[in-house]
């Protein structure tokens, strides 16, 4: 059953050997040249499970990979029961929201500490389970990198996600994320990453209200 038709991949909820699983299929894109299309799809299909597996080792929950089919660009993974952070964030109290975002910051910090860049940090790619665990999904655009630039862009995307989908709480949410982030990454690196974000924002014609 098709659960989500994304631009990059489609998600299907399936039964697989008696298990409820999520099947991520990267269907060919007609607009791209077939050679380029195959290159992108197979690269992401191999790369994504590697990132997800490594993330677990850093203490960031991700769905368990059950099978990979590079030729067809399919990934079969564990189905995570829960709700997207996107759906519940606005309904929380300020304190709950702060705590949740703080925890998200800790998780991002763990990834960055171990050279993992998620690549698409949005609140729809974080699932809150009934046990209160936050599971990160969709590493399709992720990469292994310890560069400041990559970390800066990653956090910058998180900030942008808050601004575009949770604009009423964007500031408090992102600040709470940073509080969590600094706990695991440390003052020095956080300051460097923040400096990088400012640079990125200046570069891409971003300028925040405060700095104007």
Site of interaction with other proteins (CB under 8 A): 5-8, 29-33, 35-36, 39-40, 119-122, 141, 153, 157, 160-161, 163-164, 167, 200, 203-207, 209
Residue 134 near residue 128, CB atoms below 8 Å: yes
Would you say 18 or 33 has its CB closer to other proteins?
A: 33
Closest distance of CB 118 from other proteins, Å: 9
Catalytic residue among 120, 138, 154, 192: 120
Residue 140 near residue 9, CB atoms below 8 Å: yes
Closest distance of CB 28 from other proteins, Å: 12
Would you say 47 or 99 has its CB closer to other proteins?
A: 47
Residue 9 near residue 26, CB atoms below 8 Å: yes
Residue 28 near residue 122, CB atoms below 8 Å: no
**How is residue 90 annotated by DSSP?**
G
Closest distance of CB 19 from other proteins, Å: 28
Residues paired with 67 in a beta bridge: 76
Would you say 95 or 168 has its CB closer to other proteins?
A: 168
Whether 120 is catalytic:
yes
Distance CA(88)–CA(83), nearest Å, equals 7
Contacts of 138 (CB under 8 A, 6+ apart): 120, 125
The two structure tokens encoding residue 173: 């949410």
Distance CA(138)–CA(122), nearest Å, equals 10
Closest distance of CB 112 from other proteins, Å: 15
Which sign, positive or negative, has the C-alpha torsion 173, 175, 179, 184?
A: positive
Would you say 78 or 115 has its CB closer to other proteins?
A: 115
Catalytic residues: 120
């Amino acid at each position: 059953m098709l659960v989500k038709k994304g631009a990059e991949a489609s998600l299907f909820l399936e039964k697989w050997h008696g298990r409820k699983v999520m099947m991520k299929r990267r269907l060919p894109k007609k607009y791209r040249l077939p050679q380029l299309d195959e290159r992108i799809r197979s690269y992401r299909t191999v790369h994504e499970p590697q990132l997800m597996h490594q993330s677990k080792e850093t203490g960031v929950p991700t769905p368990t990979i059950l099978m990979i089919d590079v030729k067809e660009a399919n990934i079969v993974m564990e189905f995570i029961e829960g709700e997207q952070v996107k759906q519940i964030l606005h309904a929380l109290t300020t304190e709950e929201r702060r705590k949740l975002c703080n925890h998200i910051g800790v998780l991002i910090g763990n990834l960055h500490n171990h050279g993992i860049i998620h690549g698409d940090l949005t609140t729809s790619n974080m699932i809150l389970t009934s046990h209160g665990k936050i599971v990160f999904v969709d590493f399709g655009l992720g990469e292994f990198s310890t560069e400041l630039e990559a970390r800066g862009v990653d956090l910058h995307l998180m900030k942008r996600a808050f601004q575009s989908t949770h604009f009423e709480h964007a500031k408090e949410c992102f600040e709470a994320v940073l509080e969590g982030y600094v706990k695991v990454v440390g003052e020095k690196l956080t300051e460097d990453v923040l400096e990088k974000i400012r640079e990125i924002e200046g570069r891409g014609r971003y300028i925040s209200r405060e700095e104007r």
